[in-house]
Amino acid sequence: MGNFGDFQFGVYLSSFTGEAPPDLPFSYAGLAERAQQALTPALWDYVAGGAGDEGTQDANVAAFSRYGLTPRMLSGAAQRDLSVTLWGIELPSPLLMAPVGIIGVCTPDGHGDQAAARAAAQTGVPFIGSTLMQDPMEDVIAHSGDTPAFFQLYTPNNRDLAESFVHRAEAAGYRAIVVTLDTWALGYRPRDLAYGTFPQLGGACLANYASDPVFQALLPQGADDTAIAATWAGLFGNPALTWDDLTWLRGLTDLPLVLKGICAAEDVRRARDYGVDGIYCSNHGGRQAGSAPALDFLPAVIEAAGDLPVLFDSGIRSGVDVVKALALGAAAVGIGRPYALSASLGGTEAIVHTLRCLLAEADLTMGLNGYADLATLRTHGAIRVAG
């Protein structure tokens, strides 16, 4: 069985035989540069920007420089096993595509959710589909092949609609429900305000709403796109959610229930009491509110989670970042901006390329530092180097 790092050897070998390397970036910096050219200025700022002065977004990235890996030699790490099991689901790697509510319009053809699902099918990296899809959830998962897909829920303030979304996701074959807690209102984003950018108000990425019978019943007769967007705006997000609502959410489905946006150890302990199946440590990539870097929350969250798996995202820009988060104890690591930006460069093909680059760098980072598997990495791998 090969290693993910063999992707790199394949590029070198193809070049040796006269085939040019893929005309796609191999680093995040290159990816961002190319994507900025491909996207409109308003959409570029929407994807690349963050909340407020973007200090939290920048701190998320910088936090990884405060951690390093301890090299361990003569450890027999020529072959690596990066596989993980989440809720009984066996996955070839710990990488996930985090939910991105605008991915649908990032691809040239305007069907980015389907492109990401096809990339999942080709790489084995699960796609967490957002409630805010450009195509209905049933049409999206049809493209994911044998790779599991998860559904992210923005809990609307209409319980019947929330239940409909969950039951549709379950019937369509999604394998877990990921409830985002930190986006019941839009964060303060100066870049978007400068353009007046709010894609959903223009009707983008509302396919799950427009295709839902509960939502349809709320529309005025003969509703057009403007009426759909206006009705959505009155339903999106639920600021009234409290801990007591977890009993209702937990009772909607037998699928694993994961809470996204949990950063405090006290919240982890409370969540466990309500029977959730996983914790997703994230500050929404610094897009929603100013906070400390997400990575700084991770060790305490993992300690409080006990035997619950802890997923992580926010600030991941490289395979080395992935490995550091895993070394700190994350069960799986989500990427957001890297695959959203790559989507603009050619849809599925570009997303697959970016995922393979991240997996190759993560795999080679583990192997060259002497870690053959994730259990050994988590036991001996991470070291605080600054701060």
Determine if residue 260 is labeled as part of a ligand binding site.
Answer: yes
164 is in an annotated binding site: no
Query: Was 333 annotated as part of a binding site?
Result: no
Containing 95, the helix (H) or strand (E) segment is: strand 95-97
Residue 11 annotated as part of some ligand binding site: no
Residue 104 annotated in ligand binding: no
Side-chain-side CA neighbours of 385 within 13 Å: the count stands at 13
Within 8 A by CB and 6+ apart from 9, the residues are none
Task: State how far Cα 192 lies from the chain centre.
Answer: 21
**Helix, strand or coil, per DSSP, at residue 127:** strand
**Residue 284 bears catalytic tag:** yes
| Spatial contact of 133 and 215, defined as CB atoms under 8 Å apart | no
On whether 101 is known to bind a ligand per the annotation, the reply is yes
The reply to whether 317 sits in an annotated binding site is yes
Residues in the chain: 387
Q: Is position 99 annotated in a ligand binding site?
A: yes
Residues 6+ apart with CB under 8 A from 234: none
To the question of whether residue 337 is assigned a binding role by annotation, the answer is yes
Query: Is residue 130 marked as binding?
Result: yes
Residues 116 and 140: their CA atoms lie apart, in Å, by 9
Please indicate if the annotation marks 315 as binding a ligand. yes
Does the annotation place 274 within a ligand binding site? no
189 carries a ligand binding annotation: yes
Check the annotation: does 34 bind a ligand: no
Whole-number Å distance between alpha carbons of 63 and 364: 22
Would you say 316 is a known binding-site residue? yes
* Residues 263, 297 contacting (CB under 8 angstroms): yes
- Non-local CB neighbours of 114 within 8 Å, separated by 6+ positions: 135, 139, 140, 143
Active-site entry in 111, 143, 284, 353: 284
Question: Which long-range CB contacts under 8 A does 108-112 form with residues at least 24 apart?
Answer: 108/344, 108/346, 108/347, 109/347, 110/134, 111/135, 111/347, 112/343, 112/347
Q: Which residues are annotated as a binding site for FMN?
A: 99-101, 130, 152, 180, 282, 313-317, 336-337
Q: Which residues are annotated as a binding site for glyoxylate?
A: 46, 154, 189, 260, 284, 287
Q: Which residues are annotated as a binding site?
A: 46, 99-101, 130, 152, 154, 180, 189, 260, 282, 284, 287, 313-317, 336-337
Indicate which residues carry an active-site annotation: 284
